């Protein structure tokens, strides 16, 4: 594959994270090539739960709460940009989100967790409410009697993440990004102040490279003096037939999509790269969901699937520029949907300028080696 | 999953001509099907070209893959909406109706 015009930046990874970075770079005027492993990739972008979620994030790193909040705020702008550039409505909304609890013990633990989160630092302006059954029922008339209460935050929302994935692909294409499918990367070699990237498809040279390859970042990062010790965390999801709208807010484990299907999710298992879907987990998820919303019992299940979250050792994102090979960046997180607005509007322009912003200083992988 | 005609024919060596006749209705019309056929196959055999309207755009659809994957053959069977017609063996006396878009929430009370 000969390439006479070398791109300014090569983004490795064609999912929601890579697509968001590529869009942000292209909007800043960069010539971008995106190398996508293809449909063999694990692709969390295809299997995620599609929340734009803030309320429970940042325990152990308040900067992550701030970063998530910033992206949730900026998501309105991103949705507008995607709509204008592609004509695709990604069905983003921020109606506020609930975490429903099915026992006093559960609710007590959630309330404690929220107190600990908010005691860390000045997380002022991170509003949330603790609701009892009656108040939850007033706001969500369909809840069942087993719901003892809820945590509510007006900051939470959701999106149609498949439409987001498609819109990012469409927007980057329209912005002239050279998208190359079926291009797994075997090696990245620092050379002449830039990089040569090789795979079975050939070779490409570039001044800057961004690793946005999800679980693949663990293997790629050491090639350019970076560290991305990410591991898979399996989540299973159930989706029902499309039904008339009755849930206007997302829960952390149940949401109704813009098209009417109800998604039930948020299991977590450490099973390596196994993506088998299993009844033990699904049945617990389904049973809890039906206790939350008895109406769900009458719906047909259409599909179940699993996907692998991209988890760092502490669960927070990793954003770094290589010290030994400047111009090489890693961008990896398990909340590529929530953080998409930051990636397009804040991180990508900073990558092009060559200096990561102060807002992400805490997300360097150097934190794992102190 | 109960036995379909092809399974039985394979075992007995008998052809389709020996299948028993079943009576069913589609949107109130009396139709005839064959024992061992699925609901979707029976609709196609009766010349039905639209069995549902999609929930999102309202586009008309008919059975397509006949193997449980495409979800184009959704119909109302004996009052239960959004059933996959290609996964349900036809039974005598079944009442089958076009699936018009989404089921309404009051229809899904478990």
Helix (H, G, I), strand (E, B), or coil: what is residue A244?
A: coil
> In the structure encoding, which two tokens stand for residue A346, read together?
């804040």
Distance separating alpha carbons of residues B65 and A152, to the nearest angstrom: 43
A24: left (phi over 0), alpha (psi -120 to 50) or beta: alpha
Same domain, A167 and A223: yes
Same domain, A203 and A346: yes
**Hunting for tokens 């998501």 — which residue is that?**
A75
Answer yes or no: is A35 within a domain. Answer: yes
What does residue B83 show for φ and ψ, rounded to 5 degrees? -90, 145
A269 beta partners: A234
What is the longest distance spanned by two Cα atoms in chain A?
67
Angle of helix A161-174 relative to helix A16-27, nearest 10 degrees, comes to 40
The total of structural domains in chain A comes to 3
Q: What pLDDT shows up at residue B16?
A: 52
Whether A93 and chain B come into contact, CB under 8 Å, resolves to no
DSSP state for residue A299 in the 8-state scheme: S
Same domain, A256 and A321: no
Distance separating alpha carbons of residues A264 and A56, to the nearest angstrom: 18
| DSSP letters spanning A179-220 | EESS----EEEEETTEEEEEETTEEEEESEEEE--GGGHHHH
**Hunting for tokens 């429903």 — which residue is that?**
A100
Sequence-distant (6+) residues with CB within 8 A of A162 are A46
Last residue of a domain, one of A296, A311, A326: A311
Same domain, A138 and A200: no
Residues of chain B where predicted confidence (pLDDT) is lower than 70: 1-17, 105-110
Sequence-distant (6+) residues with CB within 8 A of A9 are A25, A30, A31, A32, A33, A206, A207, A208, A209, A210, A351, A352
Whether A300 and chain B come into contact, CB under 8 Å, resolves to yes
Q: Is the pLDDT of residue A267 over 90?
A: no
The Cα of B68 is separated from the nearest Cα of chain A by a number of Å equal to 10
Task: Give the pLDDT confidence of A107-165 residue by residue, as tens digits.
Answer: 999 999 999 888 887 666 789 999 999 999 999 999 999 999 999 999 999 999 999 99
- H or E element: which one contains A228? none
Is B105–A242 a contact, with Cβ atoms under 8 angstroms apart? no
Residues in chain B: 110
Answer yes or no: is A67 within a domain. Answer: no
- H or E element: which one contains A51? strand A51-52
Same domain, A222 and A331: yes
Distance separating alpha carbons of residues A200 and B14, to the nearest angstrom: 53
> In the structure encoding, which two tokens stand for residue A239, read together?
């989706």
Closest to A147 in 3D by CA, of A177, A178, A121, A110: A110
The Cα of A352 is separated from the nearest Cα of chain B by a number of Å equal to 40
Task: Give the pLDDT confidence of B62-93 residue by residue, as tens digits.
Answer: 999 999 999 999 999 999 999 999 999 999 99
Last residue of a domain, one of A153, A176, A191: A153
Q: Are A274 and A307 in contact (CB under 8 A)?
A: no
Q: Is the pLDDT of residue A265 over 70?
A: yes
* Distances from the Cα of A76 to the Cα of A144, A271, A278, angstroms: 32, 36, 37
| DSSP letters spanning chain B | -PPPHHHHHHHH---GGGPPEEEEEETTEEEEEETT-BHHHHHHHTT----EE-TTT--EE---SSSSSS---EEEETTEEEEEGGGSB--TT-EEEEEESSBPGGGG--
> In the structure encoding, which two tokens stand for residue A338, read together?
């929530």
Answer yes or no: is A72 within a domain. Answer: no
Answer yes or no: is A363 within a domain. Answer: yes
Prediction pTM value: 0.89
For B55, nearest residue in chain A (alpha carbons): A242
In this structure, of A228-232, A353-357, B7-11, B52-56, the range with the lowest mean pLDDT score is B7-11
Q: Is the pLDDT of residue A269 over 80?
A: no
Q: What pLDDT shows up at residue A2?
A: 44
Same domain, A364 and A305: no
Answer yes or no: is A103 within a domain. Answer: yes
Helix (H, G, I), strand (E, B), or coil: what is residue A227?
A: coil
CATH number at residue A27: 3.50.50.60
Is A241–B107 a contact, with Cβ atoms under 8 angstroms apart? no
Same domain, A195 and A262: no
Q: For a pLDDT cut of 90, what percent of chain A falls above it?
A: 86
Same domain, A104 and A214: no
Answer yes or no: is A209 within a domain. Answer: yes
Mutate to test the interface with B, among A243, A248, A258, A290 (most CBs of B within 10 A): A243
Answer yes or no: is A212 within a domain. Answer: yes
Same domain, A137 and A253: no
Task: Give the pLDDT confidence of A295-330 residue by residue, as tens digits.
Answer: 999 899 999 999 999 999 999 999 999 999 999 999
Same domain, A139 and A236: no
Determine the structural domain holding residue A299 and report its residue range.
231-311
Distance separating alpha carbons of residues A237 and A304, to the nearest angstrom: 6
Distance separating alpha carbons of residues A244 and A162, to the nearest angstrom: 20
Task: Give the pLDDT confidence of A40-92 residue by residue, as tens digits.
Answer: 888 999 999 999 999 999 988 999 999 999 999 999 999 999 999 999 999 99
Last residue of a domain, one of A262, A295, A311: A311
Q: What pLDDT shows up at residue B10?
A: 61
Q: What pLDDT shows up at residue B110?
A: 47
Same domain, A333 and A302: no
Q: What pLDDT shows up at residue A275?
A: 77
Answer yes or no: is A86 within a domain. Answer: no
In chain B, residues with a C-beta closer than 8 Å to the C-beta of A243 are 102-105, 108
Is A290–B55 a contact, with Cβ atoms under 8 angstroms apart? no
Q: Is the pLDDT of residue A1 over 50?
A: no
Same domain, A108 and A243: no
Distance separating alpha carbons of residues A264 and A308, to the nearest angstrom: 16
Whether A302 and chain B come into contact, CB under 8 Å, resolves to yes
DSSP state for residue A237 in the 8-state scheme: E
């Amino acid at each position: 594959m000969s390439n006479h015009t070398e791109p300014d930046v090569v983004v490795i990874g064609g999912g929601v994270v890579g697509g968001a970075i590529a869009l942000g770079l292209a909007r800043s005027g960069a010539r971008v090539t995106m190398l996508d492993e293809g449909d063999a990739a694990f692709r969390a972008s295809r299997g995620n739960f599609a929340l734009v979620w803030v309320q429970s994030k940042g325990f152990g790193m308040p900067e992550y709460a701030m970063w998530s909040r910033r992206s949730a705020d900026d998501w309105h702008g991103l949705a507008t940009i995607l709509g204008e550039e592609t004509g695709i409505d990604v069905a983003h909304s921020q109606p506020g989100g609930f975490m429903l609890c099915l026992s006093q013990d559960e609710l007590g633990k959630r309330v404690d967790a929220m107190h600990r989160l908010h005691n860390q630092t000045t997380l002022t302006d991170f509003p949330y409410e603790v609701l009892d059954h009656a108040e939850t029922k007033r706001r969500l008339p369909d809840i069942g009697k087993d719901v003892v209460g809820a945590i509510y935050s007006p900051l939470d929302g959701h999106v149609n993440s498949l439409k987001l994935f498609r819109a990012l692909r469409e927007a980057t294409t329209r912005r002239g990004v050279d998208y190359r499918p079926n291009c797994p990367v075997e090696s990245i070699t620092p050379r002449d102040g830039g990089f040569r990237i090789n795979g079975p498809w050939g070779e490409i040279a570039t001044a800057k490279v961004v690793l946005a390859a999800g679980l693949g970042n663990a293997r790629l990062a050491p090639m350019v003096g970076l560290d991305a010790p990410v591991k898979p965390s399996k989540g299973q999801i159930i989706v029902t037939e499309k039904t008339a709208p009755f849930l206007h807010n997302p829960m952390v484990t149940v949401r109704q999509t813009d098209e009417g299907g109800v998604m039930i999710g948020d299991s977590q298992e450490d099973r390596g790269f196994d993506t088998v879907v299993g009844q033990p987990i699904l049945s617990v998820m389904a049973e809890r969901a039906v206790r939350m919303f008895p109406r769900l019992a009458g719906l047909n299940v259409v599909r179940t699937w699993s996907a692998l979250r991209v988890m760092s050792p502490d669960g927070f994102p990793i954003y770094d520029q290589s010290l030994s090979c400047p111009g090489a960046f890693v961008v990896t997180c398990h909340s590529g949907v929530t953080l998409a607005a930051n990636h397009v509007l804040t991180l990508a322009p900073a990558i092009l300028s060559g200096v990561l912003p102060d807002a992400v200083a805490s997300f360097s992988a150097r934190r794992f080696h102190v | 999953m109960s036995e379909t005609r092809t399974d039985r024919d394979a075992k007995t060596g008998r052809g389709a001509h020996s299948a028993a006749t079943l009576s069913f209705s589609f949107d109130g019309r009396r139709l005839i099907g064959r024992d061992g056929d699925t609901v979707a196959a029976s609709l196609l055999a009766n010349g039905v070209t639209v069995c549902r309207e999609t929930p999102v755009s309202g586009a008309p659809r008919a059975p397509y893959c006949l193997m449980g994957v495409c979800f184009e053959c959704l119909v109302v069977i004996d009052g239960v909406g959004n059933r996959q017609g290609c996964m349900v063996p036809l039974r005598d006396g079944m009442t089958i109706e076009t699936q018009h878009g989404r089921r309404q929430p009051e229809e899904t009370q478990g």
